[in-house]
Chains A and B, each alone.
Chain A
Amino acid sequence: AQSVTQLDSQVPVFEEAPVELRCNYSSSVSVYLFWYVQYPNQGLQLLLKYLSGSTLVESINGFEAEFNKSQTSFHLRKPSVHISDTAEYFCAVSDPKGGYQKVTFGTGTKLQVIP
């Protein structure tokens, strides 16, 4: 069975400061890893994903995440946050060979950007 732990339920950060949202996963097999973002009153949108290859993946709006197999982590970082980044962020994992591509989500981290 696979699981995801997001260590922080809320992260307040000042505008233009860097941020790291932590994610650790547990799985006995190889994994695909995802970060989703949920803006207020909206559904989830894929922010970035790791499938294979380079362990550093980037999104179009400046976020990046690094797959660390030895530490079973997939932390999300941004060097300088904007007010518009205020949202809830979910880390997720799936088994590439698992049945019907079910995804297991973490409990979410609310990022609050303070002006």
Chain B
Amino acid sequence: DAGITQSPRHKVTETGTPVTLRCHQTENHRYMYWYRQDPGHGLRLIHYSYGVKDTDKGEVSDGYSVSRSKTEDFLLTLESATSSQTSVYFCASRQPQSTDTQYFGPGTRLTVL
């Protein structure tokens, strides 16, 4: 399995506070992704990165920002958390070749009260 870790694994926060989730991979994968998983919606893409400092929006990017200053780290920030952002967040990474597999981290369960 690819070495992808996420921190924290669990977090409870209050509405209006900033939150940063971290994804770290040791596979030197160029592409990285942030998803949120919600019942009845499956996984939805929030943001993705195709290289250091190169990022773009996914289908549910409102209220989220990302940064990638190193190949191995991809940060997801909720500038002002809302209850609708309570979810399980997954990070994934892969190499650019289309036949390569996307590898997932273990997830972060975020609760916004």
Give A98's nearest chain B residue, CB to CB: B98
**How many residues does chain A have at the interface if contact means C-beta atoms less than 8 Å apart?**
24
Cβ of A49: which chain B residues have Cβ within 8 Å of it? 101
Given contacts A44-B90, A90-B42, A107-B41, contact A102 B105 (CB under 8 A): no
Chain B interface size, under 10 / 10 to 19 / 20 to 34 / 35 or more: 20 to 34
A42 and B106 within 8 A (CB): yes
A96 on interface, CB distance cutoff 8 Å:
yes
Whether the pair B40, A107 counts as a contact (CB closer than 8 A) is yes
A101 contacts B96, CB within 8 Å?
Answer: yes
A108 x B42 contact (CB < 8 A): yes
For A90, the closest partner residue in chain B by CB is B42
**B75 sits at the interface (CB 8 A):** no
Q: Which residues of A contact B43 (CB under 8 A)?
A: 44, 90, 105
A residues 1-46 near B (Cβ < 8 Å) are: 6, 9, 32, 36, 41-46
CB of A43 within 8 A of CB of B106, answer yes
Q: Which residues of B contact A (CB under 8 A)?
A: 1, 4, 31, 33, 35, 40-45, 48, 50, 56, 58, 90, 92, 94, 96, 98-107
